[in-house]
Amino acid sequence: MYAARRDRLRERCHAAGSAAAVVTRPANVRYLAGAAPQDAVLLLGRRQDLLVCAGPPDDRASPWRPDDTLALHILAEPAGDPAVAAADLAAAQGADALAVEEHHLTVTRHRALASVAPRLRLADLGGAVEQLRVVKDEEEISCLRIGAEIADQALGELLESILVGRTERHLALELERRLVDHGADGPAFATSVATGPNSGKRAHRPTDRRVEEGDFLSVCLGATYRGYRCEIGRTFVIGTSPADWQIELYDLVFAAQRAGREALAPGVAYRDVDRAARQVLDSAGYGEGLVALTGHGVGLEIEEDPQLAPAAMGKLDACVPVTVEPGVHLPGRGGVRIDDTLVVRPEADGGPELLTITTKELLAL
Amino acid sequence: MYAARRDRLRERCHAAGSAAAVVTRPANVRYLAGAAPQDAVLLLGRRQDLLVCAGPPDDRASPWRPDDTLALHILAEPAGDPAVAAADLAAAQGADALAVEEHHLTVTRHRALASVAPRLRLADLGGAVEQLRVVKDEEEISCLRIGAEIADQALGELLESILVGRTERHLALELERRLVDHGADGPAFATSVATGPNSGKRAHRPTDRRVEEGDFLSVCLGATYRGYRCEIGRTFVIGTSPADWQIELYDLVFAAQRAGREALAPGVAYRDVDRAARQVLDSAGYGEGLVALTGHGVGLEIEEDPQLAPAAMGKLDACVPVTVEPGVHLPGRGGVRIDDTLVVRPEADGGPELLTITTKELLAL
């Protein structure tokens, strides 16, 4: 599988005139090699592919499965830069051009690569690996699905516990502990718990504010499972009966989120998914102050291509997992966010597959 | 204070021929501006210093204290790159040369900066801000001291609880919860808990292995307090009486760590501190397989300059906080790490100040 991914990348490199490439971005290395020990880089070589590491990889962190088509190269000097060593090895394999990830390499490292192999012409690999990563195979989707189940479980357990009087920070830490309890590698990103006036803020960092009766409580969390990261966000009301403004705002965000979900289909432009959700909020007068995107791809990173945003170019494919996460935050009052991870599927296969299945009814806790 | 730091940097820039600089590395931005909202960059301008942000800064994440000498500039287009905007603003202020952090900027971003302001000559700021950050003021040291107290408390509480049968992951999560309970912003780095054969590995990632009688248990954790990160590592024995090999190995690592601590003084070469600790382990036959460094600076980042390593160039100054953290790991058996954060002080002031005061006696838990 990893060899097949590398072959697809190799074709692209050849087409662009480079016989070799060095991949440095960790998620890209992991995608192509099956493991990404710290600081490791992947050399897509002219004669052989090498995973170049500063030291022996830690098996526990990301298991290394030996593979005939990929050898491990450990630097003699642990303080060396594996990318520089890889450039040297590429030159030794007779490459004359080497594609590198200019969006990831710093200017300083790029210069070091150029000087170790002065005869090597450095080209830009651009986002070629990120593009390969957009459409997932069923094994990747299955990791996301398990991660989503774990996040659903952690969230479900939290809802059964007593919330009033507990701080945002503690609730976030408890959710992260539960993710690990249920088998996650760890949280997919910093868990966000927002209460009262903080609720509805995207990526709110938990504070010491305590949950109070009458609050909106918005929670966003995700599990990493075998490297794959998913995301779920829900908003609840604390107490027995939500206020009218809370019900209205919730229904509105729910309608926007549903519109976004229902727009997901192969061939639909990214911006049209964004517009479907955004116009619901816009027409209710909440167009100002909305965040720049309605959703994004997920996978080995929590934010990857595509972006579901007004200026995004491109169209959805089948087997692309994305979030749909509109929200409204009213300064001083709070707000609502609803966030799911879904996989784009053709209508013949039942349409978008919802991975995060926790209810989206407005629960009063 | 922040203005004074920026003035020191400005002097360096002027001396190097640049009237303006853009600082992009987040810890450097925070050091010079007092806050580093996500993706914010600092323009050290010809006429005015600006903190350039993609959106309004989140006060809770890092409080923004208004300052006459530094204005906030929020991009009109939230998807824009603040560094590119800063280059544009520098040109508008009449700068002809702009120093940038080539060790942080990617090739792609550097090119975008060059193209937005083609008349601006881009120079390299190098590690100028990192160098300013090496020597800490007493306010910075006081943040580290509080962080160390928090880490000591969290560790002390863990030692009072029952450990046998609990997994590395759970112990690590509990330690992180306790850090936050005691007022940390969060953990300073991923807490490492290593049992039995895993013990003594540097930066071991916690697994599902459970603590057993007779195990070495090594723990490494740290608190972030107001952005400043410290580190403590200790090794314990589980059960009533440590085995002879455990006592011997512990005494050896303890002797190495003490030698490293005792070598800390203003004017001592970094490599000599490393050698002091390393030669104790070397002469006992553990020279092979040691990690590349004996310690490192701490501050706004958990690993910053200086490195206490065989090839490091430079000498310690007073008021430089560093870790001293030698260790030995015997594959299949486990090992010992002992790690303190200390501040280099002249002998007249009592010598190195130990921030992490948990006992280094070999405790049997």
pLDDT digits (tens, 9 = 90+) for A17-42: 888 999 999 999 999 999 888 889 99
Q: pLDDT digits over A146-188, tens only?
A: 999 999 999 999 999 989 999 999 999 899 999 999 999 999 9
Q: pLDDT digits over B337-356, tens only?
A: 999 999 999 999 999 999 99
- The predicted pLDDT at position B236 comes to 96
B311 touches chain A (CB under 8 A): yes
- The predicted pLDDT at position B113 comes to 95
- A contact test, residue of B108, B204, B271 with most A CBs within 10 A: B108
A209 touches chain B (CB under 8 A): no
Q: pLDDT digits over B128-165, tens only?
A: 999 999 999 999 999 999 999 999 999 999 999 989 99
Superfamily for the A2-132 domain: Creatinase/prolidase N-terminal domain (3.40.350.10)
Span B199-209, average pLDDT: 92
Position A63 pLDDT exceeds 60: no
Q: Give percent of chain B with pLDDT exceeding 90.
A: 79
Span B71-95, average pLDDT: 90
Q: pLDDT digits over A196-224, tens only?
A: 999 999 889 999 999 999 999 999 999 99
- The predicted pLDDT at position A90 comes to 93
Name the pLDDT band for B47 (thresholds 50, 70, 90).
confident
Span B51-66, average pLDDT: 68
Span A309-318, average pLDDT: 95
Span A298-322, average pLDDT: 96
Q: What is the DSSP letter of A3?
A: H
CATH 3.40.350.10 domain extents, chain A: 2-132
Q: Does domain A135-354 have CATH number 3.90.230.10?
A: yes
* Mean of the per-residue pLDDT values of chain B: 93
- Chain A contacts of B83, Cβ < 8 Å? none
- The predicted pLDDT at position A330 comes to 93
Name the pLDDT band for A8 (thresholds 50, 70, 90).
very high
- Chain A contacts of B107, Cβ < 8 Å? 100, 102-103, 105-107, 110, 124
CATH 3.90.230.10 domain extents, chain A: 135-354
- The predicted pLDDT at position A48 comes to 86
Give the ipTM of the model, two decimals please.
0.81
Contact at CB, A106 and B108, closer than 8 angstroms: no
Give, for A15, the enclosing helix (H) or strand (E): helix A2-15
Name the pLDDT band for A66 (thresholds 50, 70, 90).
low
Which segment of B129-143, B169-183, B259-273 scores lowest on mean pLDDT?
B169-183
Q: pLDDT digits over B238-256, tens only?
A: 987 899 999 999 999 999 9
* A-to-B residue pairs, Cβ atoms closer than 8 angstroms: 67
Helix/strand/coil (H/E/C) assignment for every residue in chain B? CHHHHHHHHHHHHHHCCCCEEEECCHHHHHHHHCCCCCCCEEEECCCCEEEEECCCCCCCCCCCCCECCEEEEECCCCCCCHHHHHHHHHHHCCCCEEEECCCCCEHHHHHHHHHHCCCCEEEECCCHHHHHHHCCCHHHHHHHHHHHHHHHHHHHHHHCCCCCCCEHHHHHHHHHHHHHHCCCCEECCCCEEEEHHHCCCCCCCCCCCECCCCCEEEEEECEEECCEECCEEEEEECCCCCCHHHHHHHHHHHHHHHHHHHHCCCCCEHHHHHHHHHHHHHHHHHCCCCCCCCEEECCCCCCEEEEECCCCCCECCCCCEEEECCEEEECCCEEEECEEEEECCCHHHCCCEECCCCCCCCCEC
Position B226 pLDDT exceeds 70: yes
What's the gap in Å between the CA of A205 and the closest CA on chain B?
Answer: 7
Name the pLDDT band for B56 (thresholds 50, 70, 90).
confident
Contact at CB, A61 and B205, closer than 8 angstroms: yes
- The predicted pLDDT at position B278 comes to 96
Q: Find the CB nearest B180 among A79, A111, A169.
A: A169
Contact at CB, A79 and B169, closer than 8 angstroms: no
B207 touches chain A (CB under 8 A): yes
Position A238 pLDDT exceeds 80: yes
Position B304 pLDDT exceeds 80: yes
- The predicted pLDDT at position B38 comes to 84
Q: Find the CB nearest B106 among A60, A102, A177.
A: A102
A173 touches chain B (CB under 8 A): yes
- B contact test, residue of A25, A103, A104, A107 with most B CBs within 10 A: A107
